[in-house]
Amino acid sequence: MTMKVLVPVKRVVDYNVKVRVAADGSGVETQGVKMSMNPFDEIAVEEAVRLREKGAAKEVVVVTVGAQAAQDVLRTAMAMGADRAILVRTDDTLEPRAVANVLKAIATREEAGLICMGKQAIDDDMNATGQILAAKLGWPQGTFASAVTVADGRIEVAREIDGGTEVVSLTLPAVVTADLRLNEPRYASLPNIMKARKKPLETVEIDSLGVDTASRLTVVSVAEPLERKEGVKVNSAAELVEKLKTEAKVI
Amino acid sequence: MTALVLVEVENGAVRQASRSAVAAASRFGAVDAIVFGDGAQAAAALPGVTRVLSVPGLVNDLAEPAADLLAARAKDYSHIVAAASATGKNILPRLAGLLDVQPIPDVVEIKDADTFVRPIYAGNALATVRSADSIKVLTVRGSNFEPVAAEGGSAAIETIEAPASEKSVFVKVELSASDRPELESARVVISGGKGMKDAANFKLLEPIADKLNAAIGASRAAVDSGFAPNEMQVGQTGKIVAPELYIAVGLSGAIQHLAGMKDSRVIVAINADPEAPIFKVADYGIVGDLFEVLPELEKAL
């Protein structure tokens, strides 16, 4: 198998951090906040590495679009087993449409046979980049994947849907977006973290790609959601049912 | 301005989330609906829908032909809207890619024809965004828009040929059989977390769900631990619910779970740990062993 798997990853505020909205309402505070690889992207990296380990793929290339600091998630992905990395450098925050334009350019240059990526980033919660990218490449898509099998030039993808699971069979090349149950990502061991430092990491200036990275959305404001008030503790199930009937009038 | 709404029909009835999408879209002007597979009649009966584009040949909601078809029709519309369901989230961003526009997912409030509010960071912040695209492609959260009625309209139906799909082929679907109401439209939801300890204990929720005609949900931790299937997951990465009553059993209330249920009208938490974050959002809390509280609750109902 000669297939090259491209895995786009994103550096986001760590999932354990409770974000705070900036006082001026322009966004959320990211200064001094712990950053990590988007959890769904870790699953995508893991799946790509497993495909290579099974002999279904030849090489795993990770790519991110972001500032210099985004290198750390590329190193993490290489410590998990990715072979090499590409940083498309920009200091701007890009929307999914713009990121898809960048990724299309990289996928074309790399002649990727499969793009495996997280279904959504836990910062903007867009759940869109994979689908937009698939459309722009004219490739089929297997979104919200919980299992994938590569055979005979096709990929079979089990997808999480509202009522259960659906299976689709796609021609390659294709875009697959990873859902939670696809796998459990491995931890990078210390020796592998050391090894990852020596793996190739190429930096590409975003302007050199000549793609449209303009934003179509203007952020008017970012606000805190309404906080719920903490309620009362009751002592028994009987008291609870009583309150639900007479006070909350919900049953 | 006319909006086109992707309407999902299940067992002959329009899904509640799609009826909410129709309600949201009617804010922009006239509403046309598009239905993949059977079900055009059900969509034509929705109040406020003027025309139904029926695509009986497109039976399995495959994103590739669906997005192609929508893109071919898009120039007639100012907004293309779907529920923020698995189907909506699969098809609409692909359509946005074909149209080269930036989609606006998970809209919870419409300010005007160009300006929308959507949650980010698992609902810990609300972003108001203005779109510069000439065609807006958006998915809306059903729980934030009062659905239109299921009956009362009489739209004209136009039948469209389905485009071929060569690159993507439907293989099979496995739906979990359940007589319970759908999570997203249930009036009462009872969810279990890691505190349920194993899959068998999830059965303890059933008699209570039966009495309240409730849907049963689960936290991501419970799903990850194999206690419950993924389609029961409530949270940032699962289903977003806002029932009249939400009962959280043995779940701590992780940020990503709260993102999926904190708009519920009344929240009840049952947890052994008095410090569990779920109590911070609960209207009523019981600190105690769920294995003792659940049978008592069943009896008291």
Q: A156: exposed, middle or buried (C-beta count within 10 Å: 0-12, 13-18, 19+)?
A: middle
Q: Which residue has the higher pLDDT, B283 or B61?
A: B283
Residue B64 above 90 pLDDT? yes
Chain B residues within an 8 Å CB radius of A221? 127-128
Sheet holding B188-192, edge to edge: A232-233, B284-287, B266-271, B245-249, B188-192, B215-218
CB atoms within 10 A of CB A28: 19
pLDDT in tens, B136-191: 999 999 989 999 999 999 999 999 999 988 899 999 999 887 789 989 889 999 99
Buried b (16+ CB within 10 A) or exposed e, B58-78: bebbbbbbbbbbbbeebeebb
**Mutation target vs A (from B6, B64, B99, B120; most A CBs, 10 A cutoff):** B120
- What three-state secondary structure class fits A50? helix
Q: Nearest residue on chain A to B274, judged by CA atoms? A: A233
Residues B8 and B20: their CA atoms lie apart, in Å, by 11
What are the DSSP calls for A212-239, one per residue?
Answer: ----SEEEEEEEPPPPPPP-EE-SSHHH
Q: How far is CA B183 from CA A66, B116, B212, B237, B242, in A?
A: 38, 25, 13, 14, 9
Q: DSSP assignment of B264-280, as one string? A: -SEEEEEES-TT-THHH
pLDDT of B273 strictly over 80: yes
Q: In the prediction, which pLDDT does B55 show?
A: 97
Residue length, chain B? 301
Mean pLDDT by 10 residues, chain A (251 residues): 93 92 92 95 98 97 97 98 98 97 98 98 97 98 97 95 94 96 94 97 98 98 90 96 95 90
Kindly state the average pLDDT of the residues B48-63: 95
Closest by alpha carbon to B287, among B266, B276, B271?
Answer: B271
Q: What is the mean pLDDT of residues B252-266?
A: 93
Distance, in angstroms, between B282 CA and closest chain A CA?
6
Cβ-Cβ contacts under 8 Å, A127 against chain B? 89, 93, 105
User: What is the predicted ipTM?
Assistant: 0.95
Residues B214-257: tens digit of each pLDDT: 999 999 999 989 999 999 999 988 899 999 999 999 999 998 89
- Which residue, among A83, A92, A32, has the nearest Cα to A61 in the 3D structure? A83
Residue in B with minimal Cα distance to A126: B105
Instruction: Count other Cβ atoms within 10 Å, centred on residue B25.
Output: 30
Which pLDDT score is estimated for B236?
A: 87
A148 in contact with B, Cβ within 8 Å: no
Query: What dihedral do alpha carbons B283, B286, B292, B293 form, nearest 10°?
Result: -30
Nearest to B231 among A13, A133, A162 (CB): A162
**Beta carbons of A102 and A88 less than 8 angstroms apart:** yes
C-alpha distances in angstroms, B82 versus A129, A218, B22, B72, B120? 18, 22, 8, 17, 19
Q: What is the tally of helices (H) and strands (E) in chain B?
A: 9, 18
Using a CB–CB cutoff of 8 Å, tell me whether A152 touches chain B. Answer: no
Measure the CA–CA gap between B236 and A12, rounded to whole angstroms: 15
Q: Specify whether the CB–CB gap between A214 and B102 falls below 8 A.
A: no
d(CA B155, CA A63): 48
Nearest beta carbon to residue B120 from set A124, A165, A174 = A124
Give the separation between CA B204 and CA B186, rounded to whole angstroms.
19
Strand partners, A116: A176
CB interface of A with B, residues 17-46, below 8 Å: 18-19, 21, 28, 40
Average pLDDT over residues B87-112: 98
For residues B77 and B3, the answer to whether their CB atoms sit within 8 Å is yes
Confirm or reject contact between A14 and chain B (CB < 8 A): no
The predicted pLDDT at position B179 comes to 84
Does the pLDDT at position B271 exceed 70?
A: yes
The two structure tokens encoding residue B175: 């739906």
| Cβ of residue A95 closer than 8 Å to a chain B Cβ | yes
* Helical ranges in chain A per DSSP H: 39-53, 71-79, 96-110, 129-137, 190-196, 237-246
User: Tokens for B25?
Assistant: 């879209």
Given this model, what pLDDT does residue A101 score? 98
Mean pLDDT of chain B: 95
Whole-number Cα distances in Å, B9 to B17, B30, B64: 10, 21, 19
- Enclosing H/E stretch for A177: strand A174-178
- Residue B202: CB atoms within 10 A of its CB come to 18
Which of B93, B229, B286 has the CB atom closest to A131's CB atom? B93
pLDDT greater than 90 at residue B6:
yes
- Which positions 75-94 of A are in contact with B (Cβ < 8 Å)? none
pLDDT at A227: 84
Q: What pLDDT does residue A1 have?
A: 62
> CA neighbours within 13 Å on the CB side: how many for B212?
28
Give A139's contacts in chain B (Cβ within 8 Å).
167
Q: How far apart are CA A36 and CA A24, in angstroms?
A: 25
Q: In the predicted model, is pLDDT for residue B96 greater than 90?
A: yes
Percent of chain B whose pLDDT exceeds 90: 91
